[in-house]
Structure 1
Amino acid sequence: MLRVLGKASSINVRKVLWACAEMDIPFEREDWGVGFRSTHTAAFMALNPNAMVPVIQDGDFVLWESNSIIRYLANRYHGAGIYPPEAQARARVDQWMDWQATDLNKSWSYAFMSLVRHSPEHQDRHALATGCSEWSRHMAILDRQLDATGAYVCGESFSLADIPVGLSVNRWFETPLAHPDYPAVQDYYERLSLRPGYRLYGRNGTP
């Protein structure tokens, strides 16, 4: 059985858990990370030298990096319905997954650390205002994309890209900051909430 190492509150672990739910992949999860077993032990770092969750073990195969993991699961466990094999359609999915992991992630970093984690090192008012503005700017990009597709981030059908992006939307709404009116993002949030996997690991999860 697939083994998932990482605490369930981690947004990146939740990508893996939601992907497993979408593809009906049975798994066993173990708590690793802050508040649980340390990822800085020699045993864990032998699996992931970055000392970060999630890590999966699929038999003898070990993999880290959450987006790489969910791509692997889709390839390994017949996920063609959400990760299309056709080159251009797959590239579109990869594009939005990579955008979430780079541009969108970077845009929320300061605001999230300040307003949710209450980090003492992230309490500069100017930097917070800039961070909130950047996060809103990136969510506006997503709002325009969702308005154009009318449904999901890559088109009319749910895809693997909606897992990282959908979790980012949960983080956006759960962070206590002023939220501009993005109706397409709000509709998307409600649409994703019809999916059992998102209710388990997305909207009801810890931001």
Structure 2
Amino acid sequence: MLQILGKTTSINVRKVLWTCAELGLAFEQEDWGSGFRSTDVAEFRALNPNAMVPVIRDGDFVLWESHSIIRYLANRYRGDGLYPADPVERARCDQWIDWQASELNRSWSYAFLALVRHSPEHQDPRQIAASCANWSKHMAIVEQQLARTGAYIAGEAFSLADIPIALSANRWLETPQQHDDLPAVAAYMTRLAERDGYRRYCRNGTP
């Protein structure tokens, strides 16, 4: 059976859990990470030298990096409806998956660590304000795209790209800060609420 190593409170682990829910995949989960089993041990580093979650074991195959994992699962377990085979549609999906990691994630990291994790190393008011402003700028890009599609982040149909984007949108909504009025994002989250994976692993009160 597929094994997922990582705690459910991790946004990156929840990407994998939600993908499994969409694909109807059974799995076993082991809690690793802060507050649970330490990833900074030889046993875990043998699986992921970065000592970060999530990691999956699918038989003898071991894989880390959340976006690589969700793509693998969709490819391995007949997820054409989630991750289109058509090169153009897949490219649109990949664009938003990669943007979430390279741009959106970076925009909120300082503010999230300060306002939610209460990290002592992330309490500079100017940097918090700058991170919040940058986060809002990136969420405005999400708003514009959703207003354009009128449905989901990569187009008219739910896709693999919606999983990381929605999790980041949820993190924005759950973080105590000023929130701009983003009606397309609000409608998007309401639309996603029909999905079991969303209810279990996204808009569940966990940022």
Do these two structures clear the TM 0.5 threshold for a shared fold by scoring above it?
A: yes
Mapped to 2, the partners of 1:191 and 1:175 lie a distance apart of: 21
Q: Is contact 2:18-2:198 (8 Å) kept?
A: yes
3-state DSSP of counterpart to 1:37 = coil
Mapped to 1, the partners of 2:192 and 2:116 lie a distance apart of: 23
**Which residue of structure 2 aligns with residue 112 of structure 1?**
112
Mapped to 2, the partners of 1:192 and 1:177 lie a distance apart of: 23
Deviation at 1:206, TM superposition (A): 1.7
Deviation at 1:205, TM superposition (A): 5.0
**Which residue of structure 2 aligns with residue 185 of structure 1?**
185
Mapped to 2, the partners of 1:54 and 1:83 lie a distance apart of: 20
**Which residue of structure 1 aligns with residue 165 of structure 2?**
165
Mapped to 1, the partners of 2:43 and 2:123 lie a distance apart of: 36
Deviation at 1:191, TM superposition (A): 0.9
3-state DSSP of counterpart to 1:83 = coil
Number of aligned pairs? 207
**Which residue of structure 1 aligns with residue 37 of structure 2?**
37
Amino acid in structure 1 at the alignment position of 2:132 = C
Matched, 1:126 2:126: yes
Deviation at 1:150, TM superposition (A): 0.1
Residue-by-residue CA offset, 1:106-159 (whole Å, 9 max, x unaligned): 000111011001111111111111111000000000000000000000111000
**Aligned pairs for 1:29-178 within 5 A:** 29-178=29-178
Residue-by-residue CA offset, 1:66-95 (whole Å, 9 max, x unaligned): 000000000000000010011111011000
Mapped to 2, the partners of 1:192 and 1:101 lie a distance apart of: 21
Mapped to 2, the partners of 1:127 and 1:73 lie a distance apart of: 37
Mapped to 1, the partners of 2:30 and 2:5 lie a distance apart of: 5
Residue-by-residue CA offset, 1:14-55 (whole Å, 9 max, x unaligned): 000000000001100000001111101101100000000000
**Which residue of structure 1 aligns with residue 200 of structure 2?**
200
Q: Is contact 2:32-2:53 (8 Å) kept?
A: yes
Q: Is contact 1:13-1:54 (8 Å) kept?
A: yes
Where structure 2 has 5 or more consecutive residues not aligned to the other structure, the ranges are: none
Deviation at 1:102, TM superposition (A): 1.0
Where structure 1 has 5 or more consecutive residues not aligned to the other structure, the ranges are: none
Amino acid in structure 2 at the alignment position of 1:127 = Q
Residue-by-residue CA offset, 1:151-171 (whole Å, 9 max, x unaligned): 000111000000000101110
Q: Is contact 1:55-1:62 (8 Å) kept?
A: yes
Deviation at 1:176, TM superposition (A): 0.3
Mapped to 1, the partners of 2:192 and 2:169 lie a distance apart of: 10
- TM-score by length of structure 1 reads 0.99
| Percent identity of paired positions between Structure 1 and Structure 2 | 68
Q: Is contact 1:5-1:56 (8 Å) kept?
A: yes
Matched, 1:3 2:3: yes
Q: Hey, which bits of structure 1, 4+ residues long, moved more than 2 A?
A: none
